[in-house]
Structure 1
Amino acid sequence: MKKSELGVGLFLMAAIVFLIIPIPSLLLDVMLSVNLSVSMVIMFTALFSKDILSMSAFPTIILFTTMFRIALNVSSTKLILTKGDAGNVVETFGEFVGGGDMILGVIIFIILILVQFIVINKGSERVAEVSARFSLDAMPGKQMAIDADLNTGAISDAEARERRENLQRESSFFGAMDGATKYVKGDAVTGLIITVINIVGGLSIGVLRQELPVAEALAKYSVLTIGDGLISQIPSLMISLSTGIIVTKASNKADFTSAVIGQLFSLPKVLYMVGGTLIFLGIATPLSTFLFVAEGIMFILAGRWADKKQGIAAIEQEADADESQAEEIRRPENVVSLLQVDPIELEFGYGIIPLADVNQGGDLLDRVVMIRRQIAIELGTIVPIIRLRDNIQLNPNQYIIKIKGVQVSSGEILFDHYMAMNPGFVEEEITGIPTFEPSFHLPAIWITEGQRERAESLGYTVVDPPSIIATHLTEIIRTHIDELLTRQDVQNLVNNLKESNPALIEELVPKALGLGEIQRVLQNLLKEGISIRDLLTIFEALSNNAGITRDTDILTEYARQGLKRAISHKYFPAGEATSVITLDPKIEQDIMGSVKQTEQGAYLSLDPERTQGILASVEQEIKKLENLGRNAIVITSPIVRMYFKKLTEDYFKDLIVVSYNEIDSNVELQSVGMVTES
């Protein structure tokens, strides 16, 4: 058991024991002085702490000290009513602090109660309540700010995680403080009630049992009662003041017992001040000189020890920093940090900065967040963090998109202009600056704000600059999403599915397939725009067929067949016939006959002239579908699909190749052509 755990446990246990067992007046003196010391430590620590995060354990500290103080109050009441003697501390506070005058003591006691109730407790309670409410109301905005900083690359994933944890702890702290202020208020009420009981009870015992005159009984017991009330209310007042200080300052990640000891006894100047105060009280007042001076010396020694410890830690930290810096200089690979490549980057010229600056009304950051959500829903994979950076080397209105540090596309926009595109049926032209839409390279026109309404009324599709950039970025991510899927991403997907389907994962990974093989299957699916969101179906298909083959291309075909409902829904609308192209059986036989199997996988060894003839026929048939305004879809037999896709993917990027086994039985197809020898 840690010393801090033992100390906190004994502190609580003492409070419980004092409620049950009568204690001698000498021990009561010791405990009352300890209670006074701890209250001062709490008050000064709250005063000198830099923020409320360094006092995250404060609500529980209030509960502990309140319980301890009430237990001492009960113990002193027992001694007052049974022996008429509650020790040196109570008697001194009753005579010295009260000036030896019962009426003066009562007045001071009432003043303390009023100050605590009306000034400190009421204000602290209100501040804690408002702080808790404001903290909860501000949480969504603070979380969005963290997400925005993360998306722009201003902070790392670790820093974002730490900020979110601090935000959560801050909200929890304010909520706890809202309730903890009720402890302080209840403690003051309890002290007042006990004081009244002491006076009435003492007077009754003195007159009825000890047969003392009323004036003598009143003088004897009222002094002790006022002393008991003062020695209880002064620490309570300091705790109330500490509460008022601390509710205006966020939380520290530590277990509570270590946090209590560390937070209360870690500042040397606090310990020096408490020690000096105790020594002064022991010398300049009738309080027990030995007791208070001894405790004051102990606090000063503890402060010196803490000061020495901090000095050693600072020297070690400085030495470690110097050594780390020297080691970094000596190390030949000290440029490793420069080698890190961001998966996706959007760089733009200074003219586009207002679109990304929230303070200037730009919403590009919000659009980037929406892109990641959209891709996650559409394709079932997490898009890596998209870094947004300004680049003064670019033209003011230019932007470029990089994948893994390499530029893959670029575009240029006109600020305060809109892009108008003719969907194909608008006959009337509008004036503007001719350009091309960057995502699909369609002809378009830049128009001004004043022309926007007229262009929309004519039927033009009008989009603003942020939408242009966001659409372009989305299409680039869709095109390269398979490259962005890492093994770690796959491991995260596996871990998520394992929570609900542990039996499947245990059977598949790593017994049947390795993580890299699963990654290649998922990449193959994403490369052709197939969502991997239904990971359960994909993994079941892999598990069912991993015993037959470990060829990732063939396993991809089995996974696609398992996803036939999703594929049919994606490419073949319900309730209408879909125009498609079929493949000549002879060409399918030729393709299968030219497949060569190697240890690295299968490849086609088709004659170049034959290949050119097939591609020419595909191009001719695709034009038929384009003239009908339909997507280019080729239907093949299952065994041929992946080889035909490999044959055509470099020439026809948007060509969709689907096998018969990937089509639902209720789908209606209409063949408008066949790929034959050309």
Structure 2
Amino acid sequence: MAASQDSTSRFMRAIKNGDYLLAAALFAVVIVLILPVPKAILDSLLSLSIGFSVMILLVIIYVREPVQLSVFPSVLLITTLYRLALNVASTRLILLDGDAGKIIESFGQFVVGGNYVVGAVVFLILVIVNFLVITKGAGRIAEVAARFTLDAMPGKQMAIDAELNAGIIDETTAQKRREKIQQEADFYGKMDGASKFVRGDAIAGILITLINVIAGFGIGMLQRGMTLPESLKLYTLLSIGDGLVSQIPALILSLAAGLLITRASGRQNLGSSLARQLGFYPRALGILGGILFFFAIMPGMPRIPFIALGGLAIALAFTMKRRKLDATRFSTLLDEAEDFEDPKSRADMPGGASTRIGGKSSSEAESGVSAVSDAPPTTGELQKLVDTDILSIELGYSLLRLADENKGGDLIARIIGLRKSFAREMGLVLPTVAVRDNFELEANDYRFLLRGKPVAQGRLLPNRSL
């Protein structure tokens, strides 16, 4: 009894992890390639193909960055093989029985109106859009993204190592970032190869449809005694219906691949990003509404659609403009509240204001710590007392004028210039350097500190400095 329960629990865990399901799905694809499939089962498999492609498209819309769906190249390969297996099964039914189930018949009769010429045109349009527009563009984007991702890997690795050595991040964070860089390189490289499968699927769809039409025409005329119009209509409609059922999921997956590759990493999904970024320019919607109203008054144009769309665009423009103004006012109120709470944080206001240089204000560089006031310290001031600067320079009181811009000192400007030059030449950003006084030092002494620990000390004569 216990052994039975244990085996059942292992089986349920395997199903939950998807191990058995994936193996069973691949085995079913092989079975479909070899054995004849009943019409009812073929209808179910075709429905699964359409539904799965739509599900992948919806998942990609909600993905925040491409690496979150790193299995997509494998999904493209599996679904391509799955559709080709269904093409083989449907071709077998079309040529043997002249009937391939309800779904293919519905696509051949209802979607194209029972006209095989219209069906052929619709099928060719779908194939051209899929092959020449979406698949080709997505493949090119994947190729360029893979190339640039590989080229940027050394610089990203060096930046991570620099931040780790500077103490900005810990070893765990650095390891996660390295893994993410490796995942990005692997993902775009795989997508570059997977796009070739999609292009091959589009070409195979055209060839399979042509083979079905030609072979069906020959079977109908030579083996079943059909007339030319009867054979042409029956097998052409079935072949085009089969091609449409196969190409629509392929088109959806190609669109999903293009959306995933062109998706930039961010904190929001695709819909939220579109609404936020396009809604940031309400003036464009207002101009669009005016243009649509202009089209509405042109002679011969249908007025109701243009007036409705123009009114909707103007209404959206006013709504977005109002939200933008509300957000701006709210941000202004927050800034005013912060300034009221901590007046010393206003950096560019005249009269007692300070200018931040290298992560510390010039007043701090001159006096070492903030002046003690009667007002209770704010959270920001308490945080400054707790934090330890990564790099800092302490000066004796005779050297303070070197850091005072009002007295002609240019030490702060030189430090900023050195950090900028180092960043341009080496590609690494040094931590900010805090400059403060230390009355425990001799008048002409200075010292360098790393995380609050002295690492070097020297003496400088102010009148003899270069």
TM-score, normalised to structure 1, is 0.43
Unaligned runs of 5+ in 1: 252-339, 370-386, 415-431, 435-445, 448-678
Aligned to 1:360: 420
Correspondence 1:94 to 2:108: yes
Superposition deviation, residue 362 in structure 1: 3.0
* Cα distance, 1:249 vs structure 2: 3.0
Distance 1:247 1:37 in 2: 22
When residues 13 and 411 of structure 1 are mapped into structure 2, their CA distance, relative to the original with a 3 A threshold, is farther
In the TM superposition, what is the alpha-carbon distance from 1:144 to its structure 2 partner?
2.2
Distance, in Å, in 1 between the alignment partners of 2:172 and 2:425 is 20
Deviation at 1:346, TM superposition (A): 3.7
Residue 132 of structure 1 is matched in structure 2 by 146
Name 1:288's counterpart in structure 2: none
The one-letter code sitting in structure 2 at the alignment partner of 1:391 is A
Give matches, 1:553-632, under 5 Å: none
Deviations along 1:187-228, one digit per CA (max 9) or x if unpaired, are: 011111100000001111111110111110111111111110
User: Residues of 1 paired with 2:447 and 2:387: CA distance?
Assistant: 16
Q: What residue is the counterpart of 1:347 in the other structure?
A: 392
The residue number in structure 2 matching 1:588 is none
The alignment's TM-score, normalised by the length of structure 2, stands at 0.61
CA contact (8 A) 1:36 1:235 kept: yes
Once the 2 structures are TM-superposed, how far is the Cα of residue 48 of structure 1 from its aligned partner? 2.2
**1:295-310, aligned counterparts within 5 Å?**
none
Is the alpha carbon distance of 1:107 and 1:408 closer, same or farther for their aligned partners in structure 2, counting shifts above 3 Å? Answer: closer
Matches of 2:103 and 2:445 in 1, distance apart? 79
How far residue 391 of structure 1 moved from its aligned partner, in angstroms, is: 2.9
Matched, 1:390 2:433: yes
Q: Secondary structure at the match of 1:391?
A: strand
Tell me whether 1:111 sits opposite 2:125 in the alignment.
yes
Change (3 A) 1:48 1:240: same
Q: Distance in 2 between matches of 1:245 and 1:223?
A: 32
**Which residue does the alignment assign to 1:142?**
156
Are 1:80 and 2:94 matched, yes or no?
Answer: yes
Distance change >3 Å, CA 363–CA 177, structure 1 → 2: closer
Q: Secondary structure at the match of 2:436?
A: coil
Q: Which structure would you say has the larger Rg?
A: 1
**After superposition, where does 1:442-457 map in structure 2 within 5 Å?**
446-447=465-466
How far apart, CA to CA, are the structure 2 residues paired with 1:413 and 1:171?
51
* 1:10-89 matched pairs, under 5 angstroms: 10-89=24-103
One-letter code of the match for 1:348? I
1:634-665: CA deviations, max 9, x gaps? xxxxxxxxxxxxxxxxxxxxxxxxxxxxxxxx
Once the two structures are TM-superposed, the CA of residue 145 in structure 1 deviates from its matched residue by 2.1
Q: 1:102 is matched by which residue type in structure 2? A: Y
Contact 1:19 1:71 (C-alpha < 8 Å) held by counterparts: yes
Partners of 2:436 and 2:198 in 1: CA distance: 62
Deviation digits for residues 399-439 of structure 1 (CA, Å, limit 9, x no counterpart): 7445785435434789xxxxxxxxxxxxxxxxx954xxxxx
Residue 393 of structure 1: SS of its match in structure 2?
Answer: strand
More helix by share: 2
Q: Is the 8 A contact 1:152 1:365 kept in 2?
A: no
Cα distance in 1 between the residues matched to 2:418 and 2:242: 60
Q: Tell me what 2:344 maps to.
A: none
Aligned position for 2:216: 202
Distance in structure 1 (CA, Å) of the matches to 2:165 and 2:241: 62
The 5 Å alignment of 1:507-526 reads: none
Distance 1:47 1:357, change over 3 A: farther
- Post-superposition shift, 1:244? 0.8
Closer, same or farther in 2 for the Cα pair 1:154/1:71, shift >3 Å?
A: same
Kindly report which structure 2 residues correspond to 1:263-342, keeping only aligned pairs within 5 A, or say none: none
Q: In structure 2, how many angstroms separate the alpha carbons of the residues matched to 1:34 and 1:148?
A: 50
Shift of residue 45 of structure 1? 1.4
* Cα distance between partner residues in 1 of 2:117 and 2:244: 14
Cα distance, 1:250–1:163 mapped onto 2, change above 3 Å: farther
CA deviations 1:542-576 (Å, max 9, x no partner) are xxxxxxxxxxxxxxxxxxxxxxxxxxxxxxxxxxx
Give SS of 2:31's match. helix
Q: How big is each residue's C-alpha offset from its partner over 1:605-649, in whole Å with a ceiling of 9 and x where there is no partner? A: xxxxxxxxxxxxxxxxxxxxxxxxxxxxxxxxxxxxxxxxxxxxx
Contact 2:142 2:188 in 1 (8 A): yes
Which amino acid in 2 is paired with 1:213?
T
- The residue that corresponds to 1:410 in the other structure is 457
Instruction: Say if 1:14 and 1:250 are closer, same or farther in 2 by CA, change over 3 A.
Output: farther
Distance 1:358 1:243 in 2: 45
Residue 584 of structure 1: aligned partner: none
CA contact (8 A) 2:205 2:247 kept: yes
Contact map agreement 1:59 1:180 (CA 8 A) in 2: yes
Aligned ranges 1:153-552 → 2 under 5 Å? 153-249=167-263, 346-348=391-393, 351=411, 355=415, 360-362=420-422, 390-394=433-437, 400-402=447-449, 406-407=453-454, 409-411=456-458, 433-434=463-464, 446-447=465-466
8 Å Cα contact 1:43-1:242 kept in structure 2: yes
Offset, 1:185: 0.2
Identity among equivalent pairs (%): 42
Contact persistence 2:141–2:261 (CA under 8 A)? yes
Q: Structure 2 CA distance, aligned partners of 1:245 and 1:367? A: 32
Which residue identity is paired with 2:19?
E
| Superposed displacement of residue 77, structure 1 | 0.3
Q: Distance in 2 between matches of 1:224 and 1:170?
A: 43
| Partner residue, 2:296 | none
Post-superposition CA distance 1:39-62 (Å, at most 9, x none)? 001112122211101111111110
Over 3 Å counting, the alpha-carbon distance change for 1:27 and 1:368 in structure 2 is: closer
Flag the 1:225–1:153 CA change in 2: closer, same or farther, 3 A: same
CA contact (8 A) 2:66 2:261 kept: yes
> d(CA) in 2 for partners of 1:136 and 1:234?
34
Find the aligned partners of 2:31 and 2:96 in 1 and give their Cα distance: 18
One-letter code aligned to 2:436: Q
Cα distance change on mapping 1:404 and 1:182 into 2, 3 Å: closer
Gaps of 5+ in 2: 1-13, 266-385, 395-402, 404-410, 439-443
Q: Name the CA shift for 1:224/1:123 in 2 (closer, same or farther; >3 Å).
A: same
Q: How many residues align?
A: 313
When you count strand as a share of all residues, which structure comes out higher?
1
- d(CA) in 2 for partners of 1:358, 1:36: 60
Q: Distance in 1 between matches of 2:64 and 2:427?
A: 38
Q: Give the root-mean-square deviation of aligned CA atoms.
A: 3.3
CA deviation after TM superposition for structure 1 residue 183, in Å: 0.4
Distance, in Å, in 2 between the alignment partners of 1:97 and 1:81 is 22
Provide closer, same or farther for how the CA distance between residues 201 and 359 of structure 1 changes in structure 2, counting only shifts above 3 A: farther
Question: Matched residues in 1 for 2:30 and 2:451: separation?
Answer: 64
